[in-house]
Amino acid sequence: MSAAPSLAPPPSKWTTVTWLVCIIASIGFAFDIYELLMLPLIARPALMELGGFAPGTTGFSNWVGILFYVPAVAGGIFGLLGGYLTDLLGRRRVLTWSILLYAFAAFAAGFSTNLYMLLFFRCLVFIGVCVEFVAAVAWLAELFKDPQEREGVLGFTQAFSSIGGLMVALANGIAIAWAVGQPAPLLFGITLPAFQLPEIPGLLGTIKDPTAAWRYTLMSGLIPAIPLIIIRPFLPESPAWAKKRESGTLRRPSIAELFEPKLRRTTIVVTLMFACSFGAAFGAIQQMPQIVPGLPDVQAEIKAAVAKDFTPEQREALQTKLAGEGKSEEEIKKAIGAQTGKISGPIIQKKASHATKIQEIGGLIGRFAIAGLMLLIVSRRALLRIFLIPGLVIMPLVFGWAAVTSLSYLEYGIFIAGFLTVAQFSFWGNYLPHVYPVHLRGTGESFAANIGGRLIGTSFAAVTQWLALYLPNADKSPIVAAHNVAYVAAGVAFAVYLVNFIATFWLPEPDMTKHDD
């Protein structure tokens, strides 16, 4: 490892416009992750309400996979188109419209009356998020000519992604508290209002639980649209892109050019590695809400809460009442399960939300750590290995042992897992602008991030859920199902970390002094 030399040109003078660009890019990065991390937090209650699926069942696992993967496919395909449009139409225009798309789609998803409606709006959210990342990275990379300044800006603005993760965990916690009329942080005693769609037979349907916390969490995704609408008129276009377009030297982007001899190795390797980074996040870390219910201390808390709020006498009275109404044994069982679910659901959601906060704190520190190391370590291969090598040991331990042993052990482990995994996303945000020329920057970044990361990488969320169904006794109880998810997550995490480490030997070392072609 050697320190990066001081390189010309000198750092630029920061103006109000420069700050505005960095602020809006930071907001975009924050809500990129905010929108993506919503799904692990809301999937369980949403599937139980909209689909009537019990955790651990085939229907539940299949729909978790669908909700993770189908939007990722849509995001990958349309995100690639968005990268092409970023090179064709400009960074600013595509960035602002992509943020508006995912903000309003997330708000609309809160009104979902069935799983297909939720799936549709999650696809729109993913499309917006996939396009936004590429446009923001290209925009920032071209705004700063000094290499060290550019590395610092790209690294530290991307750190706001983890702040977005903390924000969605906090928003979910507030929504859970408010939705059940409990005191919430800062604002006490507030109950969120019910939201109801107009009844249009055969089209929209009726919202079953209009005060469900998962709906409010989704709707909070509208927040980034507010500052964007205010700031947008003051945002400039990328100077490098605008200069080439005005001079007539901006070449037309081409996906085929990514696979010409000069760029083929770069495109293939970074796409594979980006997929592995996302695979670790979605195949393991984002499975927390499905893993937490199987922990012994969480089960003990649920058991105590059920014993307090749904006593044997109340259970017997409900059984007698339903039997008197002529309900079948299966219907009675479902009714009792629904009653206990009302008690256990908020507990599980709170624990999962808390684990997400801890993971994102680890990720935030990891992003700041890699942002600092980028200024000190010239070799990109060596830099990435600092995070990959420890992960080969730590990730299997976190998910194969801590995730089935104790919530406190898991919290320590998920902090480190977040540190090692989330930092890799900042690495790719800094690396990709250096290996593609201006006319291909958006297209190349989009192929790696959206085809590799969003389309292939996020599919590991479905892979983990589906593989867990094939482990012994997967359908016996929710606890066994949760443990199976944890064990599969451990295997998936180890596999993608290993592939990523091996792939570093073929990762091209970019010329860090080069700014534009």
Instruction: Provide the pLDDT confidence category of residue 157 given band limits of 50, 70 and 90.
Output: confident
First CA to last CA distance, the chain: 27
What pLDDT was estimated at residue 180? 59
Amino acid at site 28: G
Burial class (CB in 10 A: 0-12, 13-18, 19+), 113: middle
**CB hemisphere CA count around 326 (13 angstroms):** 0
- The per-residue pLDDT for 86 is 75
Average pLDDT taken over every residue of the chain: 81
Helix (H, G, I), strand (E, B) or coil at 298: helix
- The confidence score (pLDDT) of residue 461 equals 84
Report yes or no: 442 and 91 within 8 Å, Cβ to Cβ: yes
What pLDDT does 3 receive? 43
Q: Which residue, 105, 97, 438, 414, is CA-closest to 245?
A: 438
Tell me the C-alpha distance between 341 and 190, whole Å.
23
pLDDT tens-digit readout, 444-503: 888 888 788 878 888 898 889 889 888 877 666 778 888 999 999 999 999 999 999 999
| 210 pLDDT above the threshold of 90 | no
- Give the per-residue pLDDT at 347: 83
Instruction: In whole angstroms, give the CA distance from residue 125 to residue 106.
Output: 6
- Give the per-residue pLDDT at 353: 77
**Between 29 and 180, where is the model more confident?**
29
Question: Would you call 279 helix, strand, or coil by DSSP?
Answer: helix
At 5 the pLDDT is 42
Residue 162 pLDDT grade (very low, low, confident, very high; cuts 50, 70, 90):
confident
Could you say which DSSP state residue 200 is in?
Answer: -
Class of domain 17-506: mainly alpha
Predicted pLDDT at 12: 60
The burial class, CB within 10 Å (0-12 / 13-18 / 19+), for 157 is buried
The predicted model gives 294-298 an average pLDDT of: 89
**460: burial class by Cβ within 10 Å (0-12, 13-18, 19+)?**
buried
| Helix, strand, coil in percent for the chain, rounding step 5 | 75, 0, 25
Alpha-carbon span 289 to 40, nearest angstrom:
6
Q: Cα-flanking dihedrals φ and ψ of residue 259, to 5°?
A: -110, 15
Confidence of residue 186 (pLDDT cuts 50, 70, 90): very low
